Structure 1
Amino acid sequence: MGLTSVGIGSGMDIGGIVTALVNAESAGKIAKFDVNEGKLNAQISGIGALKSAMSEFNDKLKTLAKAETFGSQKVVTSSKDYLSATVDKTAVSGTYQIKVEQLAQSQKVGTAVATDTTSPIGEGALSIKVGSGTAFNIDVSATDSLTDIMNKINKSDDNTDVTATIVNGELGPQLVLGSKKTGEDNQISVTATDSGAGTGLSDTFTMSEVTPAKNAIVYVDGVKVVSDSNTLDKAITGVSLTLTAADVDKTTTMTVSKDTAKTKTAIEGFVESYNSLMTTIQNLTKYDADTKQAGILQGDALPRSIQSQLRTMVSSEFDTSDGKQVLANLGIKTTREGLLEIDSTKLTESLKNDKGTISELFTSENTGLSAKMSGLVDTYIKSGGIIDGRDNSLDEQLARIADSREQLSTRMAAYSDRLYKQFNAMDLVVANLNSQSSMLLSRLDSLPGVVRQNK
């Protein structure tokens, strides 16, 4: 690049002069880039905070959009010794007296006693069936022992209803088949067919009952209920009972009532998330006159539009089967600051006396508060939505600044090169002049009769 520090000819700091001139030319532009880049990065951060708050709010809306959030029932039993219970929203509130007389039981049948578990039983086939189900067949070879037959039964792809095990009793081993299904309708039937010589298979598989099948017997408010299973799904509307022990002299009191706590928690979560979103928007767009500090999205139409639309929705009327409803009817009101607050007592009372209109207010498809708000929020936060569009626009502006920085750097490099060439050329001229001056003085000093006067 030529001379870059002190000029040989002129004694000037060419490097320092060039650097100062380049900096003077570029400093203003770089400062402007830095300011604009800082603003854009702040806006990207603000848009990210807005999107995050809206996503959290949308999650709460999705909970409120579910029908099971409203009108759900809860169940409490006075004892867990004999049964447990679950309910769905169709259960009728009330108190039920339940007695368990007998648990459902599966049948078990055993073969005749065999000599041992390893000797062949006899060739043939077994057909095994449980209740009205489909029979499955087991082929028994002449060399199969009791153990072999047990394994074939348990490993059969067609067997879904029976387990086989060997019990070594006092008289010898027996193969015991147990039904996987409880109840008197699920009796086990076994048909043995001999082939080849002898009748060993059919003799051994002359089955006898080891454990009888039983139905569950329950009394609900004195009404006898019989079931082939210990899980009763239809004994009481909307209630599923699971029986665990039996004692007809013991009564379990079961109480079904509205689960208003679940609904109230969901509504409180909605209000809290709404207020968080509105506070985020206020902080992003506010101007503090005392500190003269503006929010990073102050003056931006996007957050203001979201804020306005959501405020309009929470103050709107919604159609229900009981007429038009507003959030204020539930004890949810808007404060002067534009946030929501809950009158807990009024909300609890509203939920207690609700006949389904609260669910309609929030969950009605397309017209309910949750559906309308979620639809609005989705247009902003979904992939390719409005906020993504704003992010892309800001990223493009940052990319243009980066391009401008690169172009400026290229121009300043060229400018620096040009300056160095100019100053170096000047330095060379000065060097030549100095050299000529020295030579001339030297020749003058060498002339006869010339005496240099020293100062």
Structure 2
Amino acid sequence: MGVGSGIDTATLVEQLAAASKKPKEDLIAKREEANSAKISALGNISSAIDSFASALSSLISGGSLFTQATSSDTGVVASALAGSRIGNLSVQMEVRQLAAAQSIASGSYAGATSPIGQGQMTLTTAKGSFAITVDAANDSLAGLARAINAAGAGVTASVIQDTTGSRLVIKGATGAAQAFSLSVDPSADAGLQAFAFDPASYDAGNPSGMSLAQAAQDAIVRVDGVEVTRTSNSFSDLVPGVKIDLRKAAAGTVITIGSSRPTAAISQAVSDFVAAYNELKSMLDAATAAGAGALRGDVGLREMQRQLAKLPTTVLSSAGGPATLAEIGVRTQRDGTLAVDGARLSSILASDPDGVEALFNPGQTASSPLIRIVSPYGAVKPGTYTVSDLVAGDPASGKIEGFLGVVSGSQLGSSIAAKSKGLVIEPLGNLAEGTITVDLGLGGALQAIRDALRASGGPLATTQARLATESKTIAKDREKMETRESAYHDQLVRQFTAMDSRVAAFKATQSYLDQQIKMWTSGNN
């Protein structure tokens, strides 16, 4: 271009196209920048909400805000059951006997593959009677061990080596009821008779078959003067909310099961909660500030602010003590931030530590000891639910919130049509009516707010979807603008090319006319 006219039309076209495109491109770039700022601000707020809820949830799940059980002897371990509110404990317990599993051993043989004799045997355990066959294919210590293990009788057989040779060792489960016997058919080979054992007639001074290494026995403990037995050294039904593990305690050991309250941890958790809340509020305020806020006027953000502002007065516990954060000294100031009344908090912690603890920790309680709650925390919405016509057994039966329970062995699940959806219980006895109370605690309340904000159709999800749509719209507008401006550029090229051609034609005509005139002028002279 420009050859015919002598004008630099190529540069002129680029300048005209750029002048047309710049204001439109600047407008789209401004929209992109504003939307990116909104997305970034929303992402920061979303992360802050996650951190806000997760930090407290970690403390709760780690047990830092629960009263912990203690033991005065390292040989006995006491621990609070998940979610239990054990309160102030002082239980005296004497260990009389540890639970043990029956263990028997055979005489010594040259090796694991040494023949032992063939014939039929009967292994009798708590599970029933099991036929054991020893024939040419498994006539050895190792073969007999495999046959016993394959029977699934609830005992374990193995071949061990000692200084005298190889022995068959059979071990059962802990508890007196788990004792077992091994009888040999009279028609079996004589060698097989050496593996017979009956705990009822066993004579340690004159053993005729396998030797008793350890008798099956229950754990025996005396709790506050009352003697009880348990089949295992680990049990959680003697002290409410506490699991006890007898590990190395010798017979006659007397211990005290107590409790350690997390007073300092709860006080720190309140302060940390207030600091995190104020930081999150500051972030929300900055994002929604009139004029400068990236998300000013956003409906979803206003809903977040509204829900968070309700936290200090949200009912978190129905345990009978303080029910809200405001009642333990967390107050809302004029600017909407929170502050801690330290004197009030200390006073409540001293007078009702269980009530304060209940505010932070989720709780599930049944009105009767005949109801065991199986469903985990968070599976059921907070509230009080009615159960009725409970019958223990396998299968169990009964109603939850007026609906027939969904039976799964000895357990009952709530109908999905009931407001108690997610609740699973196990009736431990027959009961006409009872209630289940579920409290979320502060950690659960924060989780519920986060879930509500993130739910499909929730404030956070709605704003995220709107900003994503805006990003796509801006991208399409940029694409359309680029297409239009490219077309305009091409149009300018065509126009100036045509103009250049016409100017060139005009110049050619002018040159021809100039030439003719000169010829005419020369001829006249």
Smaller-chain TM-score range?
Answer: 0.7 to 0.9
1:27 and 2:22 matched:
yes
Q: Is the 8 A contact 1:110 1:176 kept in 2?
A: yes
Question: Equivalent residue of 1:135, what SS?
Answer: strand
Q: Which structure 1 residue ranges, 5 or more long, are not aligned? A: 288-292
Superposed, 1:431-450 pairs within 5 Å as 431-443=504-516
Distance across 2 between alignment mates of 1:226 and 1:336: 61
Is contact 1:138–1:152 with CA below 8 Å preserved after alignment? no
Q: Deviations over 1:128-180 (max 9, x none)?
A: 123x332322111146433244332453141322333355575x75433233x
Determine the structure 2 residue equivalent to 1:44. Answer: 39
Deviation for aligned residue 1:374: 5.2
- Answer yes or no: is 1:87 the counterpart of 2:80: yes
* Counterpart mapping for 1:394-433 below 5 A: 394-433=467-506
Cα contact 1:121–1:144 (8 A) shared by 2: no
For 2:191, which of 200, 218, 227 is the aligned residue?
200
How far did 1:299 drift? Answer: 3.8
Distance 2:522 2:177 in 1: 149
Deviation of 1:273 (Å): 3.6
1:207 alignment partner, SS class: coil
Question: Would the aligned equivalents of 2:5 and 2:504 in 1 still touch at CA under 8 Å?
Answer: yes
Question: Conserved in 2, the CA contact under 8 Å of 1:183 and 1:227?
Answer: yes
Q: Where in structure 2 are the equivalents of 1:16-415 lying within 5 Å? A: 16-59=11-54, 72-80=66-74, 82-88=75-81, 89=84, 91=86, 93-111=88-106, 118-130=113-125, 132-142=126-136, 144-166=138-160, 174-179=167-172, 181-195=173-187, 198-205=189-196, 206-213=208-215, 214-220=217-223, 224-248=227-251, 251-260=254-263, 263-264=266-267, 267-286=270-289, 294-315=292-313, 320=318, 322=320, 325-354=323-352, 357-358=355-356, 365=382, 370=442, 375-415=448-488
Q: CA deviation at 1:190?
A: 0.8
**Structure with larger RCO (C-alpha < 8 A, sep 6+):** 1
Q: CA deviation at 1:356?
A: 5.6
Instruction: Return the letter of the residue paired with 2:79.
Output: T
**8 Å contact kept, 1:275–1:339:** yes
Q: How many angstroms apart in 2 are the aligned matches of 1:62 and 1:113?
A: 58
Paired AA for residue 93 in structure 1: N
Relative to structure 1, the CA distance from residue 234 to residue 321 in structure 2 (aligned partners, 3 Å threshold; closer, same or farther) is: closer
Q: Count the aligned residue pairs.
A: 435
List runs of 5+ in structure 2 lacking aligned partners. 197-207, 364-381, 384-438
2:67–2:259 contact (8 Å) kept in structure 1 = yes
RMSD: 3.9
Q: TM-score, normalised by structure 2?
A: 0.69
* Mean CA deviation greater in 90-99 or 239-248: 90-99
Q: 1:17 to 1:273 in 2, by over 3 A?
A: same
Q: Distance in 2 between matches of 1:18 and 1:185?
A: 100
Relative distance call for 1:243 and 1:401 in structure 2 (3 A) is closer
- Give 2:3's match in structure 1, choosing from 2, 8, 11: 8
Shift of 1:96: 4.1
Deviation at 1:442, TM superposition (A): 4.2
Question: In structure 2, do the counterparts of structure 1 residues 268 and 124 end up closer, same or farther at CA, with 3 Å as the change threshold?
Answer: farther
- Normalising by the residue count of structure 1, what TM-score does the alignment of the two structures yield? 0.78
- CA distance in 2: counterparts of 1:140 and 1:110, whole angstroms: 18
Cα distance between partner residues in 2 of 1:221 and 1:319: 32
CA spacing shift, 1:345–1:163, aligned 2, 3 Å = farther
CA contact (8 A) 2:128 2:153 kept: no
Q: Flag the 1:162–1:92 CA change in 2: closer, same or farther, 3 A.
A: farther
Once residues 181 and 86 of structure 2 are traced to their aligned partners in structure 1, the CA distance between those partners, rounded to angstroms, is: 39
The higher radius of gyration belongs to 1
